[in-house]
Chain A
Amino acid sequence: MKARVFITLKPGVLDPQGKAIHHALEGLGFGGVQDVRAGKLIELELAEGTSDPDIEAMCRKLLANTVIENFRIERSEDA
């Protein structure tokens, strides 16, 4: 069983990395980009029976800093 955790900065939190990426895209001539926000993807390989609350607890206790970040969990049953 697998889960993917997407970690993103909360709206309104300044993202200097996103801004730098945006600037670099513009430098390459990509004009249509209005904003860039950078985040993280963490892939978990989990034992059968790991519950949603278990994964949420992992996110709250370590994977995300909920002061500045949101997280979203996506589970897939296929190995």
Chain B
Amino acid sequence: MKSAVIVFPGSNCDRDIAVAIEQVTGRAPAMVWHRDSELPHGTDFIALPGGFSYGDYLRSGAMAARAPIMRAVGEAASRGVPVIGICNGFQVLTEAGLLPGALMRNAGLAFVCRPVALTVENSQSLFTAAYRAGETVTFPVAHHDGNYQADEPTLDRLEGEGRVAFRYGEPVNGSARSIAGILNDSGNVLGLMPHPERALEPAHGGTDGRRLFEGLLEAVA
């Protein structure tokens, strides 16, 4: 698998996701700077990391979504290349219009930083094929703006089309319908607030995130 991690000024989980990708796929990803306009030839998986791109100026993910490299990311996504956005990466995907809805300030206003229980709602996607539907997994969250909101018709469509990939199993941030992660309409773009790359090895306190990358590797390779 030929992966690329997009690095924005203020990204801080780019190394975490790079380590996770290398551990699972055996190949280090290309680290692609936000000012670049092209992805390495043959890129077949793109990760938008967590962090605080551009200091969360204007809105979380707003500036990063307009960075030069995002045009190439959008084109790759439209060709079916798998794209994952984790935490700030999810915010960037919604701001770029690659996923519907928006991530707003947590309902409790506090930065939430702890492992949370999630339910795998859709186990048929590129990213969740190694999980069982309805399974409970634990990933850490670490965010201030993770409160997913969209209008009712959009939420109904996401539910009806099986595009809710992960749902919180406990109150976390006030997200509509406890949504923790969603897919685009073609199923090749996943955005989620929890961090699967921080639940990869026993030293992390849990390994539930590993299967996300293993399942993806199997689907892509």
- Taking Cβ atoms with an 8 Å cutoff, the residues of A that contact B are 13-14, 16-17, 20, 61-63, 65, 67-68
Contact = CB atoms under 8 A, between A and B. Distances in A.
Contacts of B147: 14, 16
B23 interface: no
Given A14-B174, A62-B58, A62-B62, A67 B107 contact: no
A16 B150 CA distance: 16
Contact of A62 (B66, B102, B105): B66
Contacts of A63: 58
B106 interface: yes
Contacts of B66: 61-62
Contact of B149 (A14, A17, A20, A62): A14
Majority secondary structure, A binding face: helix
B105 A16 contact: yes
A16 B144 CA distance: 12
B105 A17 contact: yes
20 contacts: A13-B149, A14-B107, A14-B149, A14-B174, A16-B104, A16-B105, A16-B106, A16-B109, A16-B174, A17-B109, A61-B66, A62-B62, A62-B66, A63-B58, A65-B102, A67-B94, A67-B100, A67-B101, A67-B102, A68-B149
Nearest to B101: A67
Given A16-B109, A17-B109, A20-B109, A65 B95 contact: yes
B155 to A, nearest CB: 12
A20 B102 CA distance: 20
B169 to A, nearest CB: 22
Majority secondary structure, B binding face: loop
Contact of A65 (B59, B106, B107, B108): B59
Contacts of A20: 109
A-B complex: 5 closest residue pairs judged by Cβ atoms: A67-B102, A68-B102, A16-B105, A16-B109, A16-B107
Given A14-B147, A16-B106, A62-B62, 16 more contacts: A14-B149, A16-B104, A16-B109, A16-B147, A16-B174, A17-B105, A17-B109, A61-B66, A62-B58, A62-B66, A63-B58, A65-B102, A67-B101, A67-B102, A68-B102, A68-B104
A38 to B, nearest CB: 10
Contacts of A65: 59, 62, 95, 102
B108 to A, nearest CB: 8
A63 B59 CA distance: 9
A40 to B, nearest CB: 8
A17 B106 CA distance: 9
A13 B104 CA distance: 10
Contacts of A62: 58, 62, 66
Nearest to B108: A16
Nearest to A61: B66
